Amino acid sequence: MPSCKPKTRFIPATCAWTLLLACTTLFFVYPCISLFYSLGIYVPVYQGVVTLFVVLNFSLATFMDPGVIPKDEDRDDDFRAPLYKNVEINGITVRMKWCVTCHFYRPPRCSHCSVCNHCIETFDHHCPWVNNCIGRRNYRYFFMFLCSLSIHMISIFTFCLIHVLDRKEYLTEPTTIVR
């Protein structure tokens, strides 16, 4: 049973995509053009590459399967299954828990996501900003998204600050009215 309504679960992800794309577009339209003329082609090329990494990793974290373990729909004896089962893996005894929803014993580090209603391998968390679970198969892309987004935000802030400081002299000069 999802913890949020199906109609509203896309709102945080949509806001994240809109905010990322809108702020990046505003940067490329306004300060980046001015910085291109004062500092050269390096600023738009650098910021374009960083933006590409952000969007690529954001897309992969959002749309890639996090490691969903398929449900066993055919099984009817889940009420008779014990809650825990000990299994030996590579000489180590591992305690596996029965998932009542998915109808199987969950492997180690696997957890059931109440939002997606699936068991996820190496489950970390369900991220509303990417509208996906973060698990075994998309964890590296989520981590790279966070790293590249941090670099993206710091560089846009720095370039905007340089842009404002370059324009400071134009803002502080008194304007004369010609009649």
Max alpha carbon distance in the chain (Å)? 94
Q: Quick one: average pLDDT of 117-121?
A: 92
pLDDT of 143 higher than 60: yes
Residue pair 131/100 in contact (Cβ under 8 Å)? The answer is: no
pLDDT for the residue numbered 1:
32
Predicted pLDDT of residue 2: 38
What is the DSSP secondary structure assignment for residue 107, as one 8-state letter?
A: P
Is 127 designated active site?
Answer: yes
The model's pTM: 0.80
What is the distance between the alpha carbons of residues 117 and 162, in angstroms, rounded to a whole number?
48
- Rounded Cα gap, residues 29 and 34, in angstroms: 9
At residue 27, the 3 state secondary structure works out as helix
In the chain, what percentage of residues exceed pLDDT 90? 51
Instruction: Find the catalytic residue in 110, 116, 127, 133.
Output: 127
pLDDT of 84 reads 72
Instruction: Report d(CA 96, CA 100) in Å as an integer.
Output: 13
Question: What's the token pair of residue 134?
Answer: 């973060």
- The pLDDT assigned to 161 comes to 92
